[in-house]
Structures are given as C-alpha cells and as structure tokens.
Structure 1
C-alpha cells in the first residue's frame, strides 16, 4: 500500500493498493462517527475489481472494474458503538487499485 503521485483523480497524490495472487491489496482506516447514525462514504476508485467499503458492526460496499476513475458511493448506518472501518481493496491477482478524494458525510 502507498501514496503515489501517478494518476491521481484529484490533486497530486492517490492511494495505491497492489494485490498479489495470494493476498488482497487493501488499505483501511477505523473511524468513530456518531453511533446509530446514517452516513455516506464517497470516493474515487480505479482498477480491476476495486472495492470501496465499510465493515466492523456495519457493512456496505461498492465495486468498479473500470480502467478509468469511477465515483463510488456507500451508504451505511453505524451501530451502537459508532465505530466503522472504511477500506479500499482489490481482488487477488487483478492488478493495482487506486483510490482518491474520500469523504464521509
């Protein structure tokens, strides 16, 4: 995983996750928004089988397999803990996925 200045959707940098044949390429961050509240995760993703998702007491995801940048939207509601993990990942052996301009509202 890393931040690269190649091919960003907006600005000079993008998140890059290169999967291998035996491992998902994945980047994740735990956030603590308010409990029992509706949110929408938005971001841009690029690559074969790129997934923007939420896990940890909540679930939701959106996929793209486009070669160009695609805007993905993931609505979800937090549980009583108010903790969620947002993630970007690519599928085994399908090439590098990139993500950019993530927002949680």
Structure 2
C-alpha cells in the first residue's frame, strides 16, 4: 500500500497485476449483459482496478475507516459494473451503490 503514494523513477507493475486479478474475477463474464459482454471483458479489468485502487488510496490516507473500506470498495465496483449489467442484475448493483 505504501506504493500508492511513493513515486519512483521506474513504473511498477501494480496496474498489470490488478488488471489480471480483475480479469480472472470476471472470468467469462457470466452475469454481464450479453450484448456488451465482449466490450465489458475488454474494459472492466482496468476500470475496476482503478476504482478499487482509488478506494484503497483514500483508506491509506485515513479518509476511510476500516469499517468503511468494504462498503466503499463494493460501491465502487458496483458503479463500474452498472453499465454492463443486464436489467435483472441492475437492481442488486444499485443497492450496493446507495
């Protein structure tokens, strides 16, 4: 976590590792809207990594408590996923956002 706020001369591989973990979590995209599944699988790993990393940076800065971390991470992921979820899944995602 210290790497979030620690600039270095050489870029690290944090983004690549984060993207790979999100791509693995999304797997074949089950639950994603079929009409946009291919696009979702192409863009969501990066966008989820960025959203989650943002939550972690606020937590690291002390702006989120340990108790808020899970809720905020879920809300960030749900917000990113909303654009690619089918109608049946949107209601559940919306409950995580508010």
Interval of TM-score (by shorter of Structure 1 and Structure 2): under 0.3
Q: Which has the larger share of strand?
A: 1
Q: Normalised by the size of structure 1, how large is the TM-score?
A: 0.22
The structure with the largest alpha-carbon Rg is: 2
Q: Between the two structures, name the one with larger relative contact order (CA 8 Å, sep ≥ 6).
A: 1
Q: Which has the larger share of helix?
A: 2
Q: Normalised by the size of structure 2, how large is the TM-score?
A: 0.23
